[in-house]
Amino acid sequence: MSPQAVSMDSAKTYDVAVVGAGVFGAWTAWHLARAGRRVVLLDQYGPANARASSGGESRIIRAGYGPDELYTRFALRSLALWKEFFARTGQALFVHTGVLWLARDADNYARQTTETLARAGAPCEKLDQTGLAKRFPQFDLQGVDWGFLEPDAGVLLARRAVEAVLADAVRGGAAYQVAGVRTPAARGKLASVETCGGERISAGTFVFACGPWLGKVFPGVLGERIFPSRQEVFFFGAPPGERRFAPPAMPAWIYLGDEVYGLPDLEGRGFKIAFDRHGEAVDPDTQSRIVSAEMAKRVTAYVARRFPALREAPIVETRVCQYENTSSGDFLVDRHPEMENVWLVGGGSGHGFKHGPAVGEYVAARLAGSAPEEPRFSLASKKTVQKRAVY
């Protein structure tokens, strides 16, 4: 259930106003409220709503990132914080499925991933093709030579997890309201923002964590540096009584060689699969939310080839969402170049959901002046031409 709005006091000046109640915004507000800051969180449609990049039922959480130890350590920190949060609030919104990576012999990224996981102290179980076939007979392993399992990884129940974080932030003293915010126009220090309903919200600091809307809110700064892309997701129904595509038999899985990932059947919603290539550029307000016949045909053919038992499986659910990519796939956490007390937070780039707790922690620390700047998150590092480097 979505958290109830807590009335804002328009005469009150908040320490921080967070605009956007996706996973980055909700966790930022949560950390700030826990630190005793007076926080208000605003979202135009509600937390993890159907149009948001944080919407939907499920997301993979894994620590593997090739040689990229920055994101491996962020993911491990986030997994610990997610688990602590769910244990404290009594909510079972992490499904311990493990995450299986499939690879070819020449896949250096996969080998680098196992090396980085070892350096970070994260468990990793390597499997040759024979071991894969014995452990996971659901897969047709044509083109796959080996793989590895992250046994501690799994799946987050995304929409409900964001709602839970926001509800806990409200219990911790944060205010929350469903309200759109107009693009601020100021130089130097921003005193307040205006909602689409004409209300003024005053704060000492403003954090805009608007996902695919960042480029629309700040067109001059981010209009050519945030790239929303259309991503189509499909759910297939397993045959009656077939449990090999649900936990614990089926893990979440990734095969970068085919640029595809999948999640097991959770709560009877179906076996989830999607291609991880960036789709066409879209406007988050106007894009169609209906999947294309072309992609449905392509995904159906892939499922039939890779999972023989699902050859005749029907599509039982579909979803169209969007990534909000930066040029490289690195996150954006930086000050606005013309408004000294405005922070820009986003660029989840399709892999960001899992990192919500660590990103929120980092943003709160940056606002407090207690964390050094990560150059890869800087606005200066965000280019106007895409060259994906983070997967």
pLDDT at 3: 62
pLDDT 10s digits, 234-246: 999 999 999 999 9
Examine the pLDDT at 7 and tell me if it is beyond 70: no
> 291 is written with which tokens?
């999947």
In one letter, which amino acid is 142?
Q
In one letter, which amino acid is 374?
E
Say if domain 96-156+228-322 classifies as CATH 3.30.9.10. yes
- Which class is 13-54+159-226+327-381 in CATH? alpha beta
* Residues forming beta bridges with residue 56, ordered by sequence position: none
In one letter, which amino acid is 158?
A
Residues with Cβ within 8 Å of 100's Cβ and at least 6 positions away in sequence, in order, are 136, 147, 148, 149, 150, 251, 252, 253, 254
Examine the pLDDT at 391 and tell me if it is beyond 80: yes
Examine the pLDDT at 272 and tell me if it is beyond 90: yes
> 52 is written with which tokens?
């948001």
Q: What length does the chain have?
A: 391
d(CA 310, CA 302): 10
d(CA 166, CA 301): 40
* Residues forming beta bridges with residue 252, ordered by sequence position: 99
* Band of residue 385 on the pLDDT scale cut at 50, 70, 90: very high
* Band of residue 5 on the pLDDT scale cut at 50, 70, 90: low
In one letter, which amino acid is 192?
S
What distance lies between CA 211 and its chain's CA centroid? 10
> Which of the residue ranges 4-18, 144-158, 377-391 would you say has the lowest mean pLDDT?
4-18
Q: Look-up: residue for tokens 């493990």?
A: 98
Give pTM, 2 decimals. 0.96
* Residue ranges covered by each domain of the chain: 13-54+159-226+327-381, 96-156+228-322
Q: 230, 227, 228: which is closest to 382 by C-alpha?
A: 227
pLDDT at 11: 55
pLDDT 10s digits, 299-344: 999 999 999 999 999 999 999 999 999 999 999 999 999 999 999 9
- Running DSSP on this structure, what letter comes out for residue 368? H
Examine the pLDDT at 256 and tell me if it is beyond 90: yes
Mean pLDDT of 92-99: 98
C-alpha count within 13 angstroms, C-beta hemisphere, residue 33: 23
CB 266 within 8 A of CB 257: no
pLDDT 10s digits, 195-223: 999 999 999 999 999 999 999 999 999 99
| CA torsion, ordered 68, 70, 73, 78, to nearest 10 deg | -110
pLDDT at 6: 53
d(CA 178, CA 64): 36
pLDDT at 186: 83
CB 73 within 8 A of CB 53: no
> 187 is written with which tokens?
């130089």
pLDDT at 54: 97
Examine the pLDDT at 348 and tell me if it is beyond 80: yes
Following DSSP, what letter does each residue of 273-314 receive, concatenated?
EEE-S---B--TTTS--S--HHHHHHHHHHHHHH-GGGTTPP
CB 46 within 8 A of CB 2: yes
d(CA 83, CA 79): 6
pLDDT at 244: 97
C-alpha count within 13 angstroms, C-beta hemisphere, residue 171: 8
d(CA 15, CA 172): 15
Examine the pLDDT at 89 and tell me if it is beyond 90: yes
Cβ count within 10 A of residue 275: 18
**Radius of gyration from C-alpha coordinates of the chain:** 21
* Residues forming beta bridges with residue 154, ordered by sequence position: 61
pLDDT at 185: 87
pLDDT 10s digits, 29-72: 999 999 999 999 999 999 999 999 999 999 999 999 999 999 99
pLDDT at 9: 60
CB 228 within 8 A of CB 282: yes
C-alpha count within 13 angstroms, C-beta hemisphere, residue 288: 8
**E strand residue ranges, the chain:** 13-19, 39-43, 59-61, 94-95, 99-103, 125-128, 146-150, 154-156, 175-178, 192-194, 200-208, 227-236, 252-255, 260-263, 271-275, 315-325, 332-335, 342-346
| CA torsion, ordered 254, 259, 260, 261, to nearest 10 deg | 30
pLDDT at 239: 97
Mean pLDDT of 10-23: 90
